[in-house]
Amino acid sequence: MAGSVHAHNVGVSLLSNVGLDPLVAKNEDEYVKLALQLASHISALQNLRTSLRDLMSKSPVCDGANFILGLESTYRNMSRRCCKGDDPSSKRMKLLEQSVAATGDLSIKNSEPTNTREDNPGSVKTNGFNTTQ
């Protein structure tokens, strides 16, 4: 089932990459409906189970060669950008320096935690984990 944080979407990504998009539910009601459909069609469920290994092995998830080609291409693009002076960390430093100069606020920090709020959708508590054990 799709969700609002990365952990919720790992299954969505895997199902999509092996060609099983129809098994991705958008909400709890749809999830129950899909589960009941699969459970009530035993032969379809059996066919799905016996085909999973083949689907996975032929999917982009297991295509190491193409993954490496994409990764190398990304590294080349990053290197080209860096050689052209396009350095995101330098841009951030310049923006921070401009903010301090414009506002005179010396409390602006170069680095701040981005996920310490309790209501952050990606927080441990929001994902159902008990942190008081």
In 3D space, the residue among 127, 130, 131, 132 whose CA is nearest the CA of residue 8 turns out to be 127
Give the percent of the chain with pLDDT over 90.
49
DSSP 130: -
Q: Is the pLDDT of residue 117 over 60?
A: no
Question: How far is the C-alpha of 84 from the C-alpha of 107, rounded, in Å?
Answer: 32
When comparing pLDDT for 24 and 118, which is higher?
24
Q: Which residue has the tokens 């396009």?
A: 86
Q: For the chain, which residues make up each domain, given as ranges? A: 1-62, 63-104
Contacts of 18 (CB under 8 A, 6+ apart): 52, 55, 56, 59, 61
Displacement of CA 90 from its chain's centroid (Å): 26
pLDDT tens readout for residues 7-41? 878 999 999 999 999 999 999 999 999 999 999 99
Give the 3-state secondary structure percentages of the chain, helix then strand then coil, rounded to 5: 60, 0, 40
Find out whether 38 and 2 touch, Cβ atoms under 8 Å.
Answer: no
In this predicted structure, what is the pLDDT of residue 21?
93
SS3 readout for 42-85: HHHHHHHHHHHHHHHHCCHHHCHHHHHHHHHHHHHHHHHHHHCC
